[in-house]
Amino acid sequence: MNIGQKFTLWVSVVVVVIGLFSGFIFYHLEMHQELDVYESMGRKMGPILEQSIISSMMTRQRDAVQKIFQDLAVGETITGIHLIDKDRTVRAGTDKALLGKTISSELLRCHGCHERGQGGLFYRLQDNVRYVQHLSNRTECHGCHDARLKFNGVIIFDFSVSEVARHIRREMILGYLIFIPTLFVVGLMTIILSRQLVQKRIEALNAGVRSMREGNYSARLPLRNDDEITRFSEAFNDMAGAISERNQEKDLLLKQVSGSFEMWQSTFDSISDLITVCDSDGFVILANRAYQAYYGLSAQDLAQSHCMSLIAGRSCSNDEFPVSVTVREQRMASVEMTNQKTGEIFQVTTYPFRPSAMTEPGFIMVARDITLQKTAERTYMEQFEFLRTMMDTIPNPVFYKDAEGRYLGCNRAFEEFLGRSKDEIIGKTVYDMGPKEIADLYYRADRELFSNPGQQCYEWRVLGKNKEVREVIFNKATFPDATGRVAGLIGIITDITQRKRAEEALRESEAKFRTIFENSLDAIRVAKNGIYDYANPSYLALFGYSRQEELSGQAVLDMIALSERPQVEKIMQQRIRGEDVPSVYATRGIRRDGTEFDMEVRVSLYTVSGDVFTVANIRDISDRKRHEEIIRHNYDTQTVINTILKTGLKNISLDEILQETLDIILSLPWLSVEAKGCIFLLEEGKKTLVMKAMKGLSECVEESCMVVPLGKCLCGRAALSEEVVYASAIDERHELCLNTAPPHGHYCIPILLRGKALGVLNLYLSEGHARDTMEVEFLDAVAGTLAGIITRKRTERERERLMQDLDEALYKVIKAQKEWISTFDSITDMIAIIDRDFIITRVNKAFAHYFGMVPQEVLGKKCHDLVHEQGTPIGICPHLETLRHHHTSSAEVVDHKRQRTFKVTTFPFYSPQGDVIGSIHISRDITEERNKELRLILNERLASLGQMASGIAHEINNPLAAIGGCAEGLLNRTRQGRIDPELFENYLQIIQEEVMRCSSITGGMLSIVRQSSYETRILNLNELLHKTIELVNFQGRLRSVQVLERYADALPPITGNEGELKQAFLAIITNALDAMEDSGTLTVETSEKGGRVVVSIEDTGCGIPEEHLGRIFDPFFTLRGGKGGTGLGLSIANKIVGNHQGEISVSSEEGRGTVFTISFAAEKTESIS
């Protein structure tokens, strides 16, 4: 074998060895390159995926990672890529069946056969090699040490070793297939070429292999076109290019994965919501850029803060919602929270988060600033409520529909108009709301509006509430949606039913008012711009015109009296200017003939087309003015009387009261008297007048008139006659007048009380002053008032005396109580002290013994319970009167149970402080006094009976004669045996009738003379009067008298004593017969007026002189002197009527007759015919 062959063989051996060695090196380099790729991917993806796990990846982020993993696993070597959090939950990976599941801890445990890398490790599991990239900052192996490292998760790349080896072997076989032929070519070339050339090629090949070993797959061998080594170099270059392209694809894929995670991180930071990842204690672990920027804090500063404290603006803990729910129950929770410092509102949502099973759970909080949203919502709601309230306050019905005609809403007025609720309206159409024929009309109107968008207005008749037909006006308009198309319509209904009715009523009322205008009794005039325009007939008649034409062109002021025109013109101008002036005023008008009269004008003003029209309603008030003058005079009189009464209530002496009263009278401007006068009082027990008050009198007059005897001079005459004495000048009656006195006249007014003179009011008049009835009536009223004041003052004086005596008695009682008690109990009158609550606090023995008790048993009882045996005070309770007015009060009280009558007098009982704390009752038994009065009445009856005796005896003789005749006839026939039953029955019937007649006569007499008592019963006044007239008829005094009995039908009954009332009527009728001298006409009439029964007894006698009318009821006053009259009949009749709460009055005219009128209170029972 030559050197060339040896060299070739050696070279071939060397090339084979080099090829095998290169394949081995290539195999290991390729294997390590695959693992380096995974390790590089793990180191780059680790931080990004770690933050993704911590941040709880969103769905789109998880899908991006999932897509990257799917792209990486498309090759033959990688069997799976999975991202597992610290809770051993698969968050992303190529095996979709494992997503969301928890894997066994065995899969994460190190088996010891590993190689540590930078932040990760390799370990072999059967045929597969697993690369684990731990997501932590420690390079120690997870799971092979006692210490448990806190980590966030792992990335697991699963790839098959056999597949990698098979892949490399396939590439090696491909290389060998290329390399072996090349080896043969090289051998041949070696043989052909020189040793030096072969050597250079080998060196170049070795350089290429070294480049590949160093990972530089871009290196290429120099090519030569003329030898086998060149072809080998080309094959080598192709192999290196294929490997380089493969690596470029892997680098590009890795860049894509890194870019996706960077994009996710950018997305996380670009979210505007505030997002934080917190540990189980609520402290911030990770926050997005918006959260850091919102609070202006770095990630390190945020790590020291509780996430809720920053949001709420106050100190917070995990016990607050929603963190408490998320941490404890591991579920999502959400709440709205307001920052107490800034007032901003956040929607805070928390999600549970646990990176791995080896760590405690945390949570992710997302806070969204909804301040503007809430403000907008609140503004929207306020605007919505405002619009809804505004719609509901619109009185017109309002509704709105969509384009299909369905009701979208309405206001309250629309609900009331239809009588349906809003729930019954919304969503319905007109076909749901009424009959089809009406709904068709509505629908066509709506369709027409939708076809021609805009506004629509028409009148219609609709069915409203309770199917009532209403006249309405529809105003409708369309409204657009957001695109500008018609979305619906809104309508407003104006109910014009009332207007339609009002228009009809207006037409009717116009005709009515024109009729009223023409026929009104008031004068009505219409003027235009102050000039007469039209007037009714009453106006023409009032002003003396006969035709409208006579007033044409006249001004309104022409009808006003000249003295009133300036004032009326001023009022007219003020009214035209719109000033506040009275619409009614009084003025004076002037008639056509020039006469003036008082009138009341009521004016109203209105304007039409710039013209001012006035309507005046004019009324003649001349009569009213006169009446007003009378009323004003009466009012002034009452005012003066009230002033005098107030003066009388002052705590001053009677002389001072009289002086002030005189001053008041003389100061009246409307009383035509001189400023001079005086007041006299009649001395008690004497017949002289003493001047108590005077004004304007000279000393001489005062001295001469200080004491005036009764019947002397004008004042004495007035007191004696008890009548007003008037003098227009000095005459012979001025007996005490001085010659030096100036000319004057007088009003001398007697001060009377119950027909008894107490004094005289004397006023000076100018000479020639005519007697004025109104002045006399006024002064008479003043005199009456003075009489009451004088009596009260004298009573007060008497009371003061009694009070003084009582005070002295009480003082003595304090000094000697036993003596006082003895004296108190020895008084026969009943005495009791009663407090304000009607409780008896002290009584004497007479009081207690009357009720069969001892004084101690009476004390503490209420007076009305004990005395009247009723739960409330009686109507005329003197105790109440004393408590109210603080003065002495008296009343007569009848004890019906014991038939006793008492005069009860009460005196105010004062405390030491001067307060009225009760009253002292002194009850005096006046039963005997009243019995004496009754006996007096009975005597008067007996006297009347004596006067009636002769006439009644004659009346009784007539029936007795008839009875005797019948009895004699019966006796004779019986003796003769002539028995005739029919005749006997007639005789016996005559006897019975005559006996009944005698009984009636005697019964009437007995009803008169029967003992009187206070027992009363319901009486028929018609029957009572008829029986009384029958009784008079028995006397035979009515033979020449025409008796007219005019009794009212259905006359109400009265309550009274029959005997007493008969006596009263008998006295009046007897007086009438005496006045007529038993001939004339006697009229007895009954009637009912104002709830009272009225009896009128009229005769045609001689009448009663006017000067005696005021005394006819006085005891012992008679005009029949020497004719047997006692003067007690009418006095007793007056007292009987008064005891029956009745009233009696008399009117008489000399020569024509007298009328007595008696009235009683009617009982509220059924009327008696």
Q: What is the pLDDT of residues 162-176, one digit of tens each?
A: 666 676 667 667 666
Q: What is the pLDDT of residue 589?
A: 92
Look over the chain and give the mean of its residue pLDDT values, rounded to a whole number.
78
| Each residue's pLDDT tens digit, 668-719 | 887 888 889 999 999 877 889 999 999 988 888 888 889 999 988 989 999 9
Cα 1045 to Cα 1027: distance, rounded to the nearest angstrom: 12
Beta strands 1041-1046 and 1080-1089 are parallel
Whether 118 has a pLDDT exceeding 50, the answer reads: no
Q: In terms of Cα–Cα distance, which of 492, 540, 536, 489 is closest to 514?
A: 536
8 Å CB contact between 341 and 246: no
CA 86/CA 138 separation, integer angstroms: 15
774 HSE (CA, 13 A, CB side): 12
pLDDT, one tens digit per residue, over 241-270 is 666 676 676 677 666 656 666 776 677 778
Q: Is the pLDDT of residue 138 over 80?
A: no
Q: What percent of the chain has pLDDT over 90?
A: 11
* Confidence check: pLDDT of 750 > 90: yes
Selected residue with higher pLDDT from 156 and 366: 366
Residue 681 pLDDT: 92
pLDDT category at 747 given cuts 50, 70, 90 is very high
The predicted structure's pLDDT at residue 1146: 93
627-793 in CATH: which number? 3.30.450.40
Phi, psi of 304 (to 5 degrees): -95, 5
pLDDT tens string 411-447: 988 888 888 888 888 999 988 887 888 888 888 999 9
CATH architecture of 394-501: 2-Layer Sandwich (3.30)
**According to the CATH classification, is domain 520-620 in 3.40.50.300?**
no
- pLDDT over 60 (residue 1121): no
> Of 1088, 1082, 1054, whose CA–CA distance to 1066 is shortest?
1082
| H or E segment to which residue 462 belongs | strand 455-463
Which pLDDT band, with edges at 50, 70 and 90, does 943 fall under? low
Give the list of residues 6+ apart from residue 808 with CB closer than 8 angstroms, or none: none
Mapped onto helix, strand or coil, the DSSP state of residue 936 is: helix
Instruction: Give dist(CA 958, CA 118) in Å, integer.
Output: 170
The confidence band for 1053, taking pLDDT boundaries of 50, 70 and 90, is very high
Predicted local confidence at residue 3, as pLDDT? 46
Q: Which residues of 487-522 are buried (b: 16+ CB within 10 A; e: fewer)?
A: bbbebbbebeeeeeeeeeeeeeeeeeeeeebeeeeb
Distance between CA 95 and CA 101 in Å, rounded? 11
Distance CA 524, CA 602 (A): 9
Please give the Cα distance from 582 to 588 (Å, whole number): 16
Q: Both tokens of residue 256?
A: 């894509």
Are 528 and 554 contacting, i.e. CB atoms less than 8 angstroms apart? no
Q: Which amino acid is at 1152?
A: R
Q: Could you give the CA distance from residue 759 to residue 789 in angstroms, rounded to a whole number?
A: 12
Q: How confident is the model at residue 60 (pLDDT cuts 50, 70, 90)?
A: very low
Predicted local distance difference test score (pLDDT) of residue 53 = 46
Tell me, what's the pLDDT at 515? Answer: 79
Report how far residue 824's alpha carbon sits from residue 740's, in angstroms, rounded to the nearest whole number. 64
Q: Which residue has the higher pLDDT, 17 or 276?
A: 276
Q: At residue 90, what is the residue type?
A: V
Q: Would you state the pLDDT for residue 599?
A: 92
For residue 949, pLDDT beyond 70: no
Domain covering 816-925 in this structure, CATH number: 3.30.450.20
How much is the pLDDT for 678?
94
Q: Which residues of 648-683 are buried (b: 16+ CB within 10 A; e: fewer)?
A: beeeeebeebbbbbbeebbeeeebebeebbbbbbbe
pLDDT band for 114, please (50, 70, 90 cuts): very low
- Using 50, 70 and 90 to split pLDDT, how confident is the model at 1007? low
> Which residues touch 694 (CB under 8 Å, ≥6 apart)?
662, 677, 678, 679, 702
**Range in 53-57, 334-338, 831-835 with the lowest mean pLDDT:** 53-57
- The tens digit of pLDDT for each residue in 282-325 reads 888 888 888 888 888 777 777 777 888 878 888 887 777 788 88
Assess whether the region 271-370 and the region 932-1161 belong to the same CATH fold.
no
Residue 164 · residue 77 · CB < 8 Å: yes
Average pLDDT over residues 832-861: 88
pLDDT at 261: 60
Helix (H, G, I), strand (E, B) or coil at 339: coil
Q: What percent of the chain has pLDDT over 70?
A: 74
Q: Would you call 248 helix, strand, or coil by DSSP?
A: helix
Q: Quick check: 95 pLDDT over 70?
A: yes
Confidence at residue 240, expressed as pLDDT on a 0 to 100 scale: 63
Question: pLDDT at residue 140 above 60?
Answer: no
Class of 271-370 in CATH: alpha beta
Q: Residue 227 has which token pair? A: 């030898």
User: What residues form DSSP beta bridges with 1044?
Assistant: 1083
Which residues partner with 160 through β-bridges? Answer: 128
Least confident range from 33-42, 88-97, 233-242, 566-575: namely 33-42
Least confident of 241-245, 377-381, 526-530, 1054-1058: 241-245
With CA atoms as reference, report the closest residue to 1042 among 1055, 1033, 1052.
1033
Closest CA to 587 of 605, 560, 606: 560
932-1161: CATH topology: Heat Shock Protein 90 (3.30.565)
Q: C-alpha distances in angstroms, 531 versus 379, 526, 597, 612? A: 62, 9, 22, 10
Closest CA to 949 of 1009, 875, 877, 859: 1009
d(CA 321, CA 335): 8
Q: How far is CA 646 from CA 38, 662, 692, 705, 789, in A?
A: 126, 14, 19, 29, 10
The pTM of the full predicted model, rounded to 2 decimals, is: 0.29
Provide mean pLDDT across the span 487-506: 86
- pLDDT band of residue 501 (cuts 50, 70, 90) is confident
Beta strands at 889-895 and 840-843: parallel, antiparallel or unpaired:
unpaired
Q: How far is CA 762 from CA 692, 747, 754, in A?
A: 12, 6, 20
Look at residue 121 and tell me whether its pLDDT is greater than 60. Answer: no
3-state helix, strand, coil in the chain (%, to 5): 50, 25, 30
CB 445 within 8 A of CB 456: yes
**For residue range 915-931, what is the model confidence (pLDDT) as tens digits?**
888 998 888 888 887 77
CATH class for the domain made up of 20-161: alpha beta
Domain residue ranges in the chain: 20-161, 169-252, 271-370, 394-501, 520-620, 627-793, 816-925, 932-1161
Average pLDDT over residues 654-669: 88
